[in-house]
Amino acid sequence: MMKKYKAHAKVNIFLKITGRRNKYHEIVSRFVKITDLYDELFFVPKERVAAKENEFKIIGDFDCMMHENTIYKAYVALKEATASEALENLMRNYAIVVEKKIPAFAGLGGGSSDAATYLKMCNEVLHLGLSLNELAKIGLHVGADVAFFIYGYESANVSGIGEVVEIFEEEPMAFDIYTPAIQISTPQVYKAYRENFYNPIDGFEAKSLKQKSSLEVLSELDAKEANDLFAPALQEYADLAQHYKEGYYFSGSGSSFFKIKEEK
């Protein structure tokens, strides 16, 4: 049970709004896995960490309430989907340890990746026999980005509200990333976008973006053009502008900036 599972970060090469579905925004985005930045998750017997038998226990550097933690949400969603007694027994006797490397509130998908990795761990350890499609469907109850991490693609086009994940074949990339110490609220950024910047792209533009390589997209678009959430994030978080460096791009709703590493 001490096997460690990697929960990789991601960046959004582009992130464009295509419309709205009820209270959600529909997007088209290129997600790329970051191979050298990841959290590590593993199970540990509760007697080793002095945890109570009847409590769900996460050990890690989190500053949210338990019911807000994406791993706990993943547990609840998996339990509702499977009604698995083995799952309840597992979490009665084991704690989940998370060695955090991905910064929080960073637009790098750390919470979603942790949730996806937890679902895959439980599926493997408990022999639940769930397919990746089934796990991705369960993951949508936790968050929009979880499905991408379930599939584990190096690069993918993600659309809808995050539930449509299509592999995109391209050469692997390495990134320079920096994350300012600014805690950005994703709902607040989307609210600002909706109220002041709402300008969804049409299907032709979305299709064109999905067909281009990440290198092509970044060579053609600047940071604001590539990510519809950058301008509203700058509006809501004035300090963000001080951290922006020419040639870098904005991931998700922030606060991380990235560029492709140049080969030496």
pLDDT of the residue at 64: 78
| pLDDT in the model for residue 136 | 97
Residue ranges, comma separated, of all CATH 3.30.70.890 domains in the chain are 175-260
Which parts of the chain fold into alpha helices (H)?
Answer: 70-82, 85-93, 110-125, 132-139, 146-151, 186-192, 203-211, 214-220, 223-226, 230-236, 240-243
Which residues make beta-bridge pairs with 42?
97
Per CATH, the number for 175-260 is 3.30.70.890
Q: What is the pLDDT of residue 263?
A: 66
10 is catalytic: yes
Query: How much is the pLDDT for 264?
Result: 55
Q: Catalytic one among 120, 145, 212, 228?
A: 145
Domain with CATH 3.30.230.10 in the chain: 5-167
Catalytic residue among 10, 33, 57, 120: 10
| Domain 5-167 architecture | 2-Layer Sandwich (3.30)
How confident is the model at residue 258, as a pLDDT? 97
> CA 84, CA 29: separation in Å to the nearest integer?
34
pLDDT in tens, the chain (264 residues): 579 999 999 999 999 999 998 888 999 999 999 999 999 999 999 988 888 878 899 999 887 788 889 999 999 999 999 999 999 999 999 999 999 999 988 999 999 999 999 999 999 999 999 999 999 999 999 998 999 999 999 999 999 989 999 999 999 999 999 999 999 999 999 999 999 999 999 999 999 999 999 999 999 999 999 999 999 999 999 999 999 999 999 999 989 999 999 765
Q: How far is residue 188 CA from its own chain's centroid? A: 17
Strands 94-99 and 257-260: unpaired
Q: Do 79 and 73 contact (CB within 8 A), yes or no?
A: no
